[in-house]
Structure 1
Amino acid sequence: MDGYLGVIVIVALVALLAAGGLFLLLRPGGKTAPPPVKPPETVPLPEEKEKRPAPAGEEGEGATTTVPPPVKPAEPVVVKPELEVPPPSAGRMVRLRSRLARSQSSLGRGLLDLLSRDRLDDEVWDEIEELLLTADVGVAPTQAIVEELRTRVKVLGSRTPEEVRALLREQLLVQINPGLDRTLNVARHGERAAVVLVVGVNGTGKTTTTGKLARVLVGDGKKVVLGAADTFRAAAADQLQTWGDRVGAEVVRGPEGADPASVAFDATAKGIEAKADVVIVDTAGRLHTKTGLMDELGKVKRVIEKRATVDEVLLVLDATTGQNGMRQAQVFAEVVNITGIALTKLDGTAKGGIVISVQRELGVPVKLAGLGEGPDDLAPFDPEVFVDAILGD
């Protein structure tokens, strides 16, 4: 009986120990944590799966690799310059008169001072003659002016400053000849544009004058096409393009070294096609000593005349070159039929007498005067404004 009870007690103790150990294992503060709950697997959507790159080492069949499209470079933004509205040609020289007066005042003041002397002897007349020659009036015109002044002074006798000024003004105007037709021939011929050919030696400001002339004509309400036939100077076409863009004038150009006559022909054709009023062709600045280049200038004119007539041939001269400019003018006149002269830098020289001498030698009028560096400093030449600026108010 005692043995039986002992067995029961031992079984009961084992059961209690087992229950206690289980309790220690399951209580919250126990050392053994329950295993983590694995979250449900997320299945990617089809479009997401297509965008996900294949894991490393799993490329091949069944792997999805998306290559992004190449990024297209942004096209450069071309900003067109705002079109400018140049002032009309009327009254331009009057507005620029002060610049002319500053450069020519020494000539006018010197002549007035000499003629106002109480006694005009041979020595004074020699000074007057020298002053006129220094101003590039030329030998023959100078002699004519001095001779006429001597005769008129003898008739007048005593002279007031007003009489001296009127006398000198009259003689200068006679030599400049206000009766010459200084109109630019830029009128359309029915359906055909007028053509202006601009010629001259290197360094006279020919391309700049071409661009400024375009502004003059656009200011007068005309549609202009420019021909960049100076294909020997790399920057000439770009320079003319800038002038044209500013006023909305189309520019016809060719590759560097192209045949100038071909470019001139294309510009003329474009002017007719675009129903322009005027085509202005800028030619290369040719040295008058190079006969071959001068012959080429004649070719340019002949090729243009296959489509149209050349209505105006403007010779651009630098007023500061004096008598050297005269020699250049004479050579150009032998090659092409010059119809007018554009004198540049007239505001920067006291040698305004070149207006008289160049007209006398060539028999063609000065039609345009460059009186500054600004874009609108080219003006139709006005003889009376010119003489008044020389003599002052």
Structure 2
Amino acid sequence: MDQPAATAPTGPLTVRPITSEQLGETVVDLGGSFLQTPAWGRTKPGWRRTPLGWFDGSGALVGAGLVLSRNIPRLKRSFAYLPEGPALPWEAVAADPSAWLDPLVGWAKQDGAFALRLGFPVISRRWAPDAVKKQIGEGGLMSFTELPPDLDNPVARRLEEWLEERSWQPIGWGNTAAVGQPRYVCVVDLKGRSADEVLKGMNQQWRRNIKKATKAGVEVRTTGLDGVATFHELYAETAERDHFFPRAKSYFEQMMRAFGAGDDRISAHIYEAHVDGDVLASALMVRVGDMFSYLYGGSTSRNREARASNALQWQAIQDALEAGCTAYDFRGFNTSLGATEPLTGLLLFKLGAGADVVEHVGERELVLSRFWHTAFEKAMAVRVAINNRRAGANTESEV
């Protein structure tokens, strides 16, 4: 099996299909997203899935991505999407974006794509949790993005400039509806830290709740596909309580099967926090390489004083540390939410665990055929309107 090159790429880059095994190995080696794994592709049966590899002049595999394509019915025209990807050496990409992205555009045109959407997983800015919490307390989320960040990445600036010059349009910025994947995520940095150090980085309320959970007899266990029924029951209860529209149980069953291929580096688990067998909180977690991600969760109104959710997350963070992960990803949030929105409380929960807010360059779209893109947009607008009427509220997650 070809492995990603350990040195800088040589010669012109080419893009061509690869095996699922090559895709998985490359995503893990380059720190790519779970949304770029073969397992994620298996959760999307309605999309055509193409693993692609980037090869340098020596024939070495230097990057990879999962292309999800959706065709216009009865036509060979498709929308091509790489969520939070591809997995590439992004500093090298930012130094010469054309060398890396033009071959992908050429492949997409040959494949009949009328539009190409990428999630650029390059960190743009980062804020420590206290600054964001302070701004929420003063009345809103949108304004925190005007605060001086703790990190402002020049690599992202170079990439953004190139994308703007080449008409790659930003997707979902400022929209109240969830579009694509989140631009802002909450991440706890685990690199080089002990469990005690991570615990000290949590706020006082979190540490107090962890102690309360221990005194209340909360225990945390992991399970797999057989935990989906209990998970979905709690998730649906949470959806009703917090006014978002839940996904079907079959969606999570499909996800657990897809990530249950046996490779610990790309895997999913359901965590359950219980007292004497009574499950009070449950969450679906995914690990890819050195990233451990919390995707969905739910809890019951029973015995809330036991603080089961805090205990569950703390156990998952400790498991991530033990597995050698360098980051714990709490996933995203919508900056258009007001300070009193129910889902703002979920953001505060994540910040209390010591998570920074990380802004990525985010999703961009390149239109390859204006005619077919316009037709597709109109069809999708109708579909979104139907879904919004059905949901009647914000959704919890973009994945």
Is TM more than 0.5 here? no
TM-score of the two chains, using structure 2 as the length reference: 0.26
Report the TM-score when normalising by structure 1.
0.26
**Quick check: which one's helix share is greater?**
1
